[in-house]
Structure 1
C-alpha cells in the first residue's frame, strides 16, 4: 500500500493545528487506499511540545495512520546517522545545513523529505502552523483530496480527476504529476501589510525590490500588485482543479505536495537561515522543467501569531524579509537559467537532474553583488521614510550590510553543496530507522 507523509514543521504553539492535521490524515486514510504517516517536526520549548503531544494523543486511533512527533533531539539523532551513512566527506556540515542553529524554512522541509524517505513514503504533503482549513456547510475542505487524486499519476491518467479542461501540451501527458498545490486566503503571506497601510508608495518601493533589477516600471508595478496576496479573500464554495504547468505565483508552501521520486528525493530546498521564501525553490523547478502539476482551489486560511509583531519578533522578521530580497539576485539568475534549460532539467525517466541544478546554483555565487548593494540602499531609504521602528531597523541593517551580503552568497553555495549530496542522503535515509522522541507519541 502506498505511503504518504502529511507533515507539519512548527516552532510555535499550535495544538489546534495539530488536531486539524489529524483530521486531514483521517480524511485521507478513509477516502484513499493509502497509509498516512502524520509527521510533526517540533522545534518548540518543552511546554508547547507537551501541548502538541497531548493533541496527538487525543486523535482517534486509525489502523492506517501512524503519528510521529519528533523534537529536535530526535531529528538530530536521525540526521546524524543519515549524514554518516551518506558517505559524505563532510557529514558535520551536512548536519548543520539540515538542522541549523537558527530558523530555516527550507531546512525544516528538507528534514520532512528525508524522514518521509525513511518511512517509505512516496509523497510529502506540507502544511504550516499559522494557517487553518476552510469549511463550507459544516464540511472541512482538505487539500489532500486533490493531492491524492493526482500526485504521481501519469498526466494523461490524472486528467480524469480534475474539474476543468486540461491545459497541458500533448507532449507532457506521459510525464508524472510532480506537484499538487493551492494557495491561501486571508492576510498577506509576508507580514508587511502595515507598510502598505502606512505608506503605499513605500510599500511599492520595498516590494518591487524582489523583482529583477532590469524589469520595467510596469512589470514591477504588476508584481507589487500580485505579490504575497495568494488567492485574495474569496472563500471556498465549490471545487475547481486544473492539470497544467503550474504558475509559481499561484501556489504556496503552506498548501503543497510533492512526488518524491520525481522531485523532492532528487533536489532539496535551499537551507538558507533566517530568509523567508527560501522554501519555494522546488515550485519554480517543477514549472521550469515543464513537469505537470495540478492547481486547485482548496485554499488554506493564512493568519499571523502575535510574536512577530513584538519588538524582537519585528526585528527578526524584517531581517528575514531583507535577506529574502538579497537572495533574489541569485535565485533570479538560477530561475532564468532553468527556464532556458527546460526539458534538459529532466533525466530520461522524467526526474529532475540534481547535478544540473547544483551547477546553476554554484554558478550564481560568482555574480557581482553591486545589485544587492543598491537593494540595501533602497531598503534603507524606504524604511527611514517610514520612521519609528522601521527607522530603528534601518539602523540595525546599516551595521550588518557586509555580513548580509556575504550570507546571501554563502546561502547559495550551501544550497549547491547540499544538492550535490542529496541523492546519497536520500539513499541513506531509506535504510535509517526513525527513532521516536523520548516521552512523545508515535
Structure 2
C-alpha cells in the first residue's frame, strides 16, 4: 500500500437506479476485504436514483452489511446529491448567473439516464472525501469465485493505482511498459467481464447475424474498410468471453482499453480530477472517454484478468425497457460522429496531452470537443437510415421501435451535437468544481459498526444509471 492510499483512502463507487441489494452486499464485501488486506480506509459510495421502495430495500441492504473496520458507507439519495452539487457549483462559480449554475447542475444531475453524469458525481464526491482513487462497479454484475471465494478486482487496483510505474512493476505478473514512462503514475487499472454481452444486442445476433454485424458496425469511424468493421464487430461488447478465472495475470503497460470495462475499473485522481466524462443522456458508452484519454496521453495502466460477471436485469427487456434501451444504443451510434474526431485528435496530440509534470491538459480536450461539434451530420443521417432498414428486417418489436424512431430523427441529431458541446462546457468548468468539492463537506456517513442505527433517508427517484 502506498502512503497516498493510507493518507487519503479510496472511493469504491456503485451508481444505481434499479433494485440491487445483492450487488450492495457484494461490493460491501469487497470494501471490507480491501480495508482488511490493504489497511486502507474505503469509502463505499452508493449513488441511489431508484424509486422510494427500492431505496428502502437498499437502505436495509446497507444496514445488513457486516461490521467492517476501515469502511465508511455513503448511501446517498438524489436530494443529498443535489444539495452537495448545488453547494459545489455555487462555490466554484459564485459569479456565474443563475442560468449558468442551473445548466451545470443539469449536466451533473440530469433528468434522464446518464452513465457519464452519475460517474462524474462520484468523481466530485471522491474529491470531497479526500480520496486518492475511484473504483467503479455496476449494479448488474457480480464477482467470480475461485475455490468458493470471491475474486475481487480491487486486489490489483490497490497494488498499482497512483503509484509511480517504476514502483508498481513489482506488483504485477508481466511488465511491458516502455522505460520512457517509468516515472509517470499508474493512471488506470482495470479488467473486463464474462457472461452476457455488455450491450443487450444478443437477441439481434441470434435472430440475424448479418443484421447484427451491420448494426454494430455502425459505430466504426467513417472511412473504415469492410474488414476493419468486421474486426470491430467481432471485438465489440463481448468482454473476456466466458472462460472463468483460474489464476492472476496483471500487465503493466499502456492500458489495453479494449479489455477494460467501466464495471471493473480504478482511476487515479490525477485523471478524473482534471477531465470529466461526457454527460450525454440516454446514451450508452458515454462513460468510456477517459480510457482513450489515458491511452493516448501515454499514461501507464495495469490490465488484469479478474473479470466481473455481467448479467442483465429484467427491465431491459420489458415493454417499457426495450425501446428505452434501444434508444440509448441509437444515441450511442450517433455520438460516434463527434467522439471519433475527438479520439483522433487525442491520438494525434499524444504526449502533448500532458504538461511537464505528467498532468493532463483539459483545455486541449475541451478544444477538441468544440471542434468536433461542427462535423457534418450526413454520416449520422446515414446511420439512422441503415438502422431503420435493419430493424425492419428483424420485424416484431424491432419494427415497432423503428416506427417510434422516425419522428425523433431530427431531435436526436440535434441532441448528439448538443451532447458534445455540453461536454466541452463541462470540461471548462471542471477544475473549479473539483477544487470546490475538496472544500465541501459531503453528506455524512456512519462507520460500518453503527450503520444499523441510521434511518433511511427519503429521496426523489429518477433513473440515472442502467
Fold shared by both chains (TM-score > 0.5): yes
Q: Match for 2:254 among 233, 245, 248?
A: 245
- Does residue 430 (structure 1) correspond to residue 458 (structure 2)? The answer is no
Residue matched to 1:151 = 161
Residue matched to 2:181 = 172
Residue matched to 1:184 = 193
Contact 1:168 1:244 in 2 (8 A): yes
Shift of 1:397: 1.0
Residue matched to 1:54 = 60
- Segments of 5+ residues of structure 1 without an aligned counterpart are none
Contact 1:3 1:34 in 2 (8 A): yes
Structure-to-structure mapping, 1:321-400, within 5 angstroms: 321-400=329-408
Shift of 1:20: 0.7
- Does residue 5 (structure 1) correspond to residue 11 (structure 2)? The answer is yes
Residue matched to 1:135 = 145
Bigger shift: 37-46 or 83-92? Answer: 83-92
Contact 1:22 1:59 in 2 (8 A): yes
Residue matched to 2:295 = 287
Residue matched to 2:77 = 71
The two structures have a TM-score, normalised by structure 2, of 0.93
Residue matched to 2:273 = 265
The 3-state SS of whatever aligns with 2:369 is helix
Bigger shift: 169-178 or 344-353? Answer: 344-353
The CA distance in 2 between the partners of 1:69 and 1:306, in whole Å, is 24
- Does residue 34 (structure 1) correspond to residue 40 (structure 2)? The answer is yes
The 3-state SS of whatever aligns with 1:267 is coil
- Does residue 414 (structure 1) correspond to residue 422 (structure 2)? The answer is yes
The CA distance in 1 between the partners of 2:376 and 2:421, in whole Å, is 15
- Segments of 5+ residues of structure 2 without an aligned counterpart are 1-6, 446-453, 458-466
The one-character-per-residue Cα deviations of 1:56-106 (angstroms, maximum 9, x if unpaired) are: 111122331100000001000000101111126221111000000000000
Shift of 1:440: 3.1
The CA distance in 2 between the partners of 1:436 and 1:172, in whole Å, is 39
Residue matched to 1:124 = 134
Q: Match for 1:204 among 198, 213, 217?
A: 213
Contact 2:39 2:70 in 1 (8 A): no
Q: Match for 2:321 among 313, 330, 353?
A: 313
Structure-to-structure mapping, 1:207-226, within 5 angstroms: 207-226=216-235
The CA distance in 1 between the partners of 2:242 and 2:379, in whole Å, is 35
- Aligned residue pairs total 439
Shift of 1:436: 4.3
Shift of 1:2: 2.9
Residue matched to 2:23 = 17
Structure 1 runs of 4+ off > 4 angstroms? none
The 3-state SS of whatever aligns with 1:311 is coil
Structure-to-structure mapping, 1:91-130, within 5 angstroms: 91-130=101-140
Shift of 1:237: 0.5
Shift of 1:280: 0.4
The CA distance in 2 between the partners of 1:91 and 1:351, in whole Å, is 27
